[in-house]
Structures are given as C-alpha cells and as structure tokens.
Structure 1
Amino acid sequence: MEHIDGKILPVSLEMLGEARRLFDDFNARYSSNEKIVAVILGNNIKDFSKELIEYGADAVVCADHPELKDLRNTIHTKVISQIALDKEIASRIEPDYAKEFKKPRYIFFAADSIGRHLSSTVLVELESGLASDINKLVIHDMTVTHQIKTEGKPTLFKKTLEMYRPDFSGFLWTTILCLNNTTPSIKREYYPQGCSIIPGVFEPIKPDPKRSGEIIFYEPKIEENDLKVKVLSHKIVKSEVDFEIRKAVVSFGRGIKDAPDENIKLVVELAKQLDAEIGISLPISKKLLPASQAISSTYMIPARVIGTSGSKISPMLYVAIGISGAMQHIAGMQDSEFVVAINPDENSPIKNECDIFINGRMEDVIPLLVEELKKQQQVVQAG
C-alpha cells in the first residue's frame, strides 16, 4: 500500500477494492476462507491500518521502522519478501491454512513509478513471474495445453489469475498467465501470481467503519549491509500533466499522421481557445510518427495518455481528434460529460461514444472551430 504525505494513494485503495470483489466471489465459489492482506511500510504509519481494513483488507501487516521512512527499493523489496514468506504471520491471519502455506496465492502492486520497480524486484525474490500494467483481472479454473509446461497434454490449472492488459495498438487485449510447470523434468510451482495494476482502472469500495480485521505489527529484519544507500533529501515531483484542474480536454491520436507537426499545432490552438489540457492516445506516446523534437517532447509523452494505460478523466468537455476509439482509450474518457469527436472515418468506433460527431479531416475542421470560438469570445467580451 503506497502512501505520500500522510495519505494512502488512490491506486492502493483501488486495487484493494478489486481484491475484495475478487475474493468475495472466490471464497463463495471455492467454499474457502482465504484472506486479503494489505502490506504497508514506512515510519509512523500505524494509523493507516484501521483505514485499510475499512477499505476491504481482512488483515494488515504494518512494518513501521525509521529506516522505512523513505523508499529504498532494496530494503522495501527485502521486507515485503520477508512478510510474504513468514509462516507465523500466515498462522495469525488464518490458522486453518498455516500448515500448508508456502507463499501468497496472488500479489498486487500499483503500476506507477514506485510499484513498477518494486513489483519486479519482489517477484524475483519470490521466484515467480510478473504481469505489468494490468487493467482487468479474472480468476478461473482452466484447461491449458502447452508444449513445454504440460508436455502437450491438456492440464487443469485451478484458481488461475487471468491478467489482462492492452497491447500497443490499443485495440487488442493480451492475457497473461503465470502457470506451474507440470512436466516432470522441469516441474516447478510459480507463486505468487503477481501483477502491477494501472491507476484509475478499478473503483475502491465504500469504506465500512464497522469492518474488523487482524492488524499485525511486523519488526523488519534490516542489516547494516542493507543501509549502504542513504536518502539525503526527499522531494515529491508532481505529474507533468494535471487533467484535474481543467474543465476541458482535447486529445489527438494517429489521425495526425499526414502532417504531425502542423496538425499538433492546430490541436494546440484549439485547446488554447477552450482553455483545455491536451491528451493523447497510447500509440502516440510510442513516438511512432515523425515529429520535431520540440513537439514530441512536449506532447507525445506518456503523462498525456488517456485510457487504461494512462489517466482516467471526467472533464465537462472532451474533444477527440483523429482518435478511432479503441476500448482502452474509451475506458479513460467515458466519464466525460460532453464528448465531441472529429474523424474522417464515419464508421470509427468513437462515433458511438460521442455526443457530437464531426465527419471530416482535422485540417479542415479545426480552423473553422477556432475561428468560430474567437468570434464567440469577442461577443462575450463585448457584452
């Protein structure tokens, strides 16, 4: 569970809420009593424990130590791995499963700058796999035939976590599985099944002050050798782009391809007239289209991505320019109050998601919109 300035980050509560929904169903289907455990590290953080239980945790393991005040990946990796493998902790959380406990069944991290790094190093320590930037989770029993893992034989894998993420096109889903090797010569278990979860994808549950749970205060085992890296100062760097402070967002996609520099300048001018922030679709952030350094470094950056691989927004006005409407992008802007789309393809999926669809090329449409907006502003100022 990540926290900054005395507050738990929204993404931590989001993935805790999704874990609660998954395991309410899981325990009902499998007639089990498995638990959701929130792990939190830091200094003077004990007050977070009750809040995490209110938001869905069955148990909280709190490692409160002066050396955990600032994030150092090596120490955080070590402590989280210690907690994940601790049989005594497992016995306190659910005695019925303590004897058979080896590792957690699943483990979630946030897909942010901290979680992406931490998830990879923790899963190495726990000797399992990792799926990154996930936006959908399903738990199923499934029969899989795999040439290496199962010797080509259909094999039932129970309680498998299906981890979905968008591919780079934005139109397809990739399903990632973390399966055991059942072939005798390479037999091996892979647990926990782990992933990092994109912020804004899931909703936290409504906190319930009446919820009860186990709170365990864990004393981390930190050695002198772990303290080679020291934090001399700590400064929080805000996001390059803040969509929350604007009532309008103008986004562009691969429709700029005929003349990237000139078309992005048109988008910028429209955004200026609307006092809007500028967003992009995921493929644009990969810089697959030629553009000048000044343009690409300012606008073709991951911080501007709208969708499941970026920000989830809800402005009063959303303008989608040259964006076809992949489901991953729609998930990020569908809470907008009013949506205008500009696209030369009248059959593009974005047409079904907007209030006004302008069938035309951005090069033709945007100058007309800008001209009309300027006229309207003059009328307002004159009045």
Structure 2
Amino acid sequence: MEHEDGEFLPVSLEMVGEARRLMDSFNTKYSSNEKVVAVILGHNVQDLSKQLIEYGADAVVYADNPELKDVRNTIYTKVIGQIVQDTKSLGEIEPEYASDIKRPRYMFFAADSIGRHLSSTTLVELESGLASDINKLVIEDIEMSHQQKTGGTKETYAKTLEMYRPDFSGFLWTTILCLDNRNPAFKRDYHPQSCSIIPGVFEPLKRDSLREGKIIEFTPTIDPQDLKVKVLGREIIKSEVDFETPRTIVSFGRGIKDDPEQNIKLIENLAKELNAEIGVTLPMSKKPYQISQALDSKYMIPARVIGTSGHKTSAMLYVAAGVSGAMQHVMGMKDSGFVVGINPDEDAPIKNECDVFIKGRMEDVIPLLIEEIKKQIQIVEVQ
C-alpha cells in the first residue's frame, strides 16, 4: 500500500477494493474463507492500518521502522519478501489455513513509478512471475496443454488469475497467466500470481467504519549493508501534464500521419482557443513520426497518454482528433461529459463513443472549427 504524508494513494485503495470484490466471489465459488491482506511499510503507520480494514481488507500486516520512512527499493523488496513468507503471521489471519500456508495466492502492486520497480524486484526475490500494467482481473479454472508447462498433456489449473492488459494497438487484449510447471522434466511452482495494476482502472469501495479485521505488526530484519544508501532529501515532482484541472481536453492519434508537424500545430491552435490541455493515444508516445524536437519532446511523451496505460479523464469536453477509438484509449476518456470525434472513417470505433462525430480529415475540419469558435467568442464578448 503506497502512502504519502499520512494519506493513501488512490491506487492503493483501488487495489484493496478490487481484491475485496475478487475474493468475495472466490470464496463463494470455492466455498472457502480466504482473506484480503494489505501490507504497509513505513514509520508511524499503525494508525493507517485501520483505514485499510475500513476500505475492504480483512487484515493488515504493517512493518514500522524509521528506516522504512522513505522508499528504498532494496530494503522494501526484502521486507515485503519477509512478510509474505512469514507463515506464522499469515497463519494468525485465518487459523483454518495456518498449517497449509506457504505463500500468498495472489499479489497486487500499483503500476506507478514506485510499484513497477518494487513489483519486479519483489517477484525476483520470490522467484515467481509478474504481469505489468493490468486493467482487468478474472479468477477461473482453466484447462490447457503446453509442451513446457504440462509436457503436452491436458491439465486443469484451478483458481488461476487471468491478468488482462491491452496490446500496443489498443484493440486487442493480452491475457497473462502465471502457471506452475507440471511437466516432470521441469517441475516447479510459481506463487504468488502477481501483477501491477494501472491507477484509475478499478473503483475503491466506500469506507465503512464498522468493518473489523486483524492488524498485525511485523518486525523486519534489515541488513546493515542495505543502509549504506541514505535518503538525504525528498521532493515530490508533479506530473508535467495536468489532466485534473482542465475542463477540456483535445487528443490526437495516428490521424496526424499525412503531415504530423502541421497537424500537431493545428491541434495546438484548437486547444488554445478552447483553453484545453492536449492528450495523445498510446502509439503517439512511441514517437512513430519524424517531427521537430520541440514538438516531439512536448507532445510525444508518456505523460500525455490518455487511456489504460496513462491517464483517465472525466473532462467536460473531450475532442478526439484523428483517434481511431482503440479500447485502451476509450477506457481513459469514456467518462467525459461531451465527446466530439473528428475522423474521415465513419466506421471508426470512436464514433460509438461520441456525442458529435464529424466525418472529415482534421486538416479540413479543425481550421473551420477554430474559425467558428473565434466568431462565437466575439459574439459573447460583444454581448
């Protein structure tokens, strides 16, 4: 659970909420009594633990130590590894399973700058697999045969966490599984099944002050060798792009391809007239076109991505210019109040998400929009 100045990051509460929903369904389906356990590291964090119970956790294991005040990845990795392999503490959470506990069944991390790093090193420590940037989770029993995993025979993998993420195009889902090797030649268990979750994808539960659960303090062992790295100062750097304040966002996608340089300048002019921020689709952050360094460094960057791999917005007005409507992008803008799409392809998926769809090339449509907006502004000013 990531926290800052006594407050949980929204993604932490989102993960607890999704874990609660998954485990409620899991326990009903499998007639079990398994638990959602939140792990929190830091200094003077005991009071925060009760909040996690109220947001859906069955139990909280916290490690409180001055050396855990600031995130140092090596130390955090080792302490989390100690906690999730401490069968004594985990056995206290649900005595029914105390004799069977080896490791958690599933683990979630945030897909942010801290969580992406921490999840990868923790799962190396635990010698299991990791799926990154996930935006959908399903638990199912699956049947499969695989030359490496099963030796070519069909096997049933019960209680498998299916972890979904959009592929590069945004139109297709990639399903990631973390399965044990049952092939006798390569036999090996992989647990926990783990992933990092994109912020803003899942809804947190409403806080319930009447919820009760167990809170367990864990005393970590910290290697003096790891204390050679000191945190002398810390400053939070805000995102270089603000998608929270603007009431209007203008986004562009591959539709700029005929003249990327000039079309981005058109987008700039439209955004200026609307007092809007500029967003991009995921492929744009991969710099697919040759443009000037000034525009490239300003707009073709991950910080401007709208979608499951970037920001989620509920802008009052959202203009999608040259955006096809890939699923990963739509998931980031579908909560906008009013959506205008500009695309020459009337069968583009974005049409289904629009309140107004303008069939046409952005090179032709945007200058007309800018001209009309200027006229309307003049009328309002005269009145």
- Which TM bucket (shorter chain)? over 0.9
Residue 46 of structure 2 is aligned to residue 49 of structure 1: no
- Take 1:172 and 1:292, find their aligned partners in 2: how far apart are those partners? 31
**SS of the residue 2:311 aligns to:** coil
**SS of the residue 2:318 aligns to:** strand
Q: Quote the offset at 1:101 in angstroms.
A: 1.0
Residue 204 of structure 2 is aligned to residue 204 of structure 1: yes
TM-score for both structures, normalised by structure 1? 0.99
Name the structure 2 match of 1:32: 32
Amino acid aligned to 2:324: S
Name the structure 2 match of 1:150: 150
Structure 1: tracts of 5 or more residues without a match: none
Amino acid aligned to 1:62: Y
- Take 2:220 and 2:151, find their aligned partners in 1: how far apart are those partners? 42
Deviations 1:27-56 (A, max 9, x none): 000011111100011111111111100110
Residue 217 of structure 2 is aligned to residue 217 of structure 1: yes
Residue 364 of structure 2 is aligned to residue 382 of structure 1: no
- Take 2:143 and 2:290, find their aligned partners in 1: how far apart are those partners? 45
Note the aligned Cα RMSD (angstroms). 0.7
Q: Quote the offset at 1:382 in angstroms.
A: 2.1
Name the structure 2 match of 1:137: 137
Residue 346 of structure 2 is aligned to residue 351 of structure 1: no
Name the structure 1 match of 2:318: 318
Aligned ranges for residues 1-383 of structure 1 at < 5 Å? 1-383=1-383
- Take 2:291 and 2:126, find their aligned partners in 1: how far apart are those partners? 43
- Take 1:233 and 1:137, find their aligned partners in 2: how far apart are those partners? 37
Aligned pair count reads 383
Q: Quote the offset at 1:97 in angstroms.
A: 1.0
Deviations 1:70-126 (A, max 9, x none): 110000001000000001111111111111111110000000000000000000001
- Take 2:44 and 2:241, find their aligned partners in 1: how far apart are those partners? 31
Deviations 1:101-154 (A, max 9, x none): 111100000000000000000000011000000000000000011011111111
User: Identity across aligned pairs (percent)?
Assistant: 70
TM-score for both structures, normalised by structure 2? 0.99
- Take 1:83 and 1:8, find their aligned partners in 2: how far apart are those partners? 20
Greater mean alpha carbon deviation, residues 121-130 or residues 324-333: 324-333
Q: Quote the offset at 1:223 in angstroms.
A: 2.3
**SS of the residue 2:365 aligns to:** helix
- Take 1:289 and 1:258, find their aligned partners in 2: how far apart are those partners? 10
Query: After the TM superposition, which segments of 4 or more aligned residues of structure 1 sit over 3 Å from their partners?
Result: none
Deviations 1:171-195 (A, max 9, x none): 1110000000001121000000000
Deviations 1:279-319 (A, max 9, x none): 11111111112222111110011111111111110011000
Deviations 1:159-180 (A, max 9, x none): 0000000111111110000000
Structure 2: tracts of 5 or more residues without a match: none
